Amino acid sequence: MQKRLLGKSGLEVSALGLGCMGFSSTFGQNVDKADAIAMLRAAVEHGVTFFDTAEVYGPFGNEELVGEALAPFRKDVVIATKFGFNIENRKMIGVISTPDRIKKAVEGSLKRLKTDVIDLLYQHRVDPTVPIEDVAGTVKELIQQGKVKHFGMSEAGANTVCKAHAVQPVTALQSEYSLWWRKPEQDILPTLEELGIGFVPFSPLGRGFLTGTLNEKTTLTDNDFRKNHPRFQPEALKANQAMVDLLNTFARQKNATPAQIALAWLLAQKPWIVPIPGTTRLNRLEENINSVNIQLTVEDLRQINEAAAKIQIEGSRYPEALEKMTGL
């Protein structure tokens, strides 16, 4: 597995990380604990060193799973987790990033992850009621105390990132980015490049859509979090199929899969971009990892970008309530 540096921070990780949210029934599936642990350890054996979790995944159970699975490899992996959601009775209720809440969240994460330090700590969503300078200052204290190594942000706007970075250098920004969600290219990527901050795209495969395994006839279960997302309504899935068709065209040329082309495209955008596709299946993990070896030429990228620019993506990426929690 190739390695990449997240900006100028010096934090080196595998070129592809593993998003672990899906182990917590996010997509309507129950993953057996033993199978999940085996999968996470298989990822390490395949060269993945970057694992992404959060206290709200589960909630709490995802961190416990990741902590147990990676304990034997702790010195060889980078674990990222997140604070920022108010959790009551094991349910997410809005955002909260007060200093006291951040410190409490970190203590809980340290215990669940079975570690004495968090490699990369993200603010999961910006809390508009707490100055970002206070958030960055609190994380700075935690870094000085040796409980955290690096500070990250998620779904924050460029201006907010700049304010936080002035207090405590931001190692990485995590936000959605893929061929069907390219808004970060407008302000985020130029800002990160200027400040030397790494970028960690989540949902780099469009929550599964860019794999080519979903269409307008797909029935999502009631506990699949995508069920109420505008982009996963039948009419949107049908309209957006053009993007999968585009990926299939290049996949045939490269003897690859649509998912591999989507990931190779992302990796080709900047050397400090590290996507974190999530999967709970070994064959999908191996498929994703092999995308690192696919070389897209300048001409390939030009053709992909020109074709993609002609496709009108239908449907917003989140329901309105969730979209309001983002800073993009």
Residue 144 three-state SS: helix
Residue type at 40 in one-letter notation: L
| Cα 171 to Cα 127: distance, rounded to the nearest angstrom | 19
Q: For residue 86, give the nearest of 71, 100, 106, 101 by alpha carbon.
A: 101
Say if CB 197 and CB 173 are below 8 A apart: yes
Residue 9 three-state SS: coil
Identify the helix (H) or strand (E) that includes residue 177: none
Identify the helix (H) or strand (E) that includes residue 297: none
Cα distances from 292 to residues 3, 46, 71, 203, in angstroms, run: 10, 12, 26, 17
* Catalytic residue annotation: 57
| Cα 285 to Cα 43: distance, rounded to the nearest angstrom | 7
φ, ψ for residue 185, nearest 5 deg: -65, -20
φ, ψ for residue 71, nearest 5 deg: -50, -40
Q: Is 54 left (phi over 0), alpha (psi -120 to 50) or beta?
A: beta
Q: For residue 174, give the nearest of 92, 60, 274 by alpha carbon.
A: 274
Say if CB 258 and CB 210 are below 8 A apart: yes
DSSP string, 226-259: TTT-GGGSHHHHHHTHHHHHHHHHHHHHHT--HH
